[in-house]
Amino acid sequence: MLAWFHSFSNLQIGAMLLFTGLSVTTLIPSLLRHRFKIKVEDNLSRGAEESFKLFISLSLLLLAFCMVRAQGDYRGAEDIVSREATVMLKMDRAYESFATDDTDAMRLVLRTYAEHLVKDEWPVLARGERASTASEDLRVISTISKQLEPQTPEQQVARSEIIQSVNQLNDLREARISASMVKLPAFYWYAIFTALFFLMLFGWLQNPLSKMITWVGGVTCGVSLMLTVLITTSGIFAGQHSVSAEPIRNALVQMGTLGG
């Protein structure tokens, strides 16, 4: 369901939720009550009003809690990508310090790896997948780096940094792919939709009709806005609000070309 939402822009998601919400909570019930002359008893309306207030609080609390959790997951993924880019820059400098033909070749492979991450791996991260081209680049980097034989103290220091960076790069990539599979637990969605169902139900019973349209309609607008933010944030590597590969692009720019 969320994957379907993430195929639209944030504005389109908000418009769909707002239109659907207002139709279900105010437009359709008001037309039915007017058309069939449905009257809601005062005692029933007063009881429904108290329950409506309760479920307003419960719905907003659930949405706010889930938004904080989703935002935490989102920021965690952003941090992983930033650290990944930093490690690439550190590794490139270590290769340059080692200064052999093998490390010059590894600097080229490192750039290719970064390009494959941006072009090949990022589009499939929404499905929790990885790019085979990037996996092969990283395998080559790991294998050749561990075979480096330092001849000077400076190369010994550089090799230590290279090996450390290789391990970090592998770990960060796995962490990023794991982060792409993080979802808001299903029971939170069940709780949210259950609360929204009862909110809608008790909203139908408000009296008079003009009060139902303005009060319930206003609450629906607020809930739709919060639900839009939650849905767009829940797509860590999917949708318009997905985590960007910009830190890795910036790292590529900073590494430059081997000739420059």
Tokens 């929204």 belong to residue:
196
- What does DSSP assign to residue 127? G
What pLDDT, in 10s, does the model give residues 32-57? 888 888 888 888 889 999 999 999 99
**CA–CA dist 224, 114 (Å, integer):** 39
Over residues 183-190, mean pLDDT: 92
**CA–CA dist 122, 132 (Å, integer):** 12
**CA–CA dist 81, 125 (Å, integer):** 12
pLDDT band at residue 258 under the 50/70/90 scheme = low
**CA–CA dist 120, 114 (Å, integer):** 10
Look at residues 194, 107, 102 and name the one whose alpha carbon lies nearest to residue 144. Answer: 102
Cβ-proximal residues to 67 (8 Å cutoff; 6+ apart), any chain = 226, 229, 230, 233
Q: What is 183-206 written as a DSSP string?
A: ---HHHHHHHHHHHHHHHHHHHT-
pLDDT band at residue 212 under the 50/70/90 scheme = confident
- List phi, psi (to 5°) of 245: -90, 15
Would the pLDDT of 260 be above 50? Answer: no
- pTM for the model: 0.85
pLDDT band at residue 89 under the 50/70/90 scheme = very high
pLDDT band at residue 240 under the 50/70/90 scheme = confident
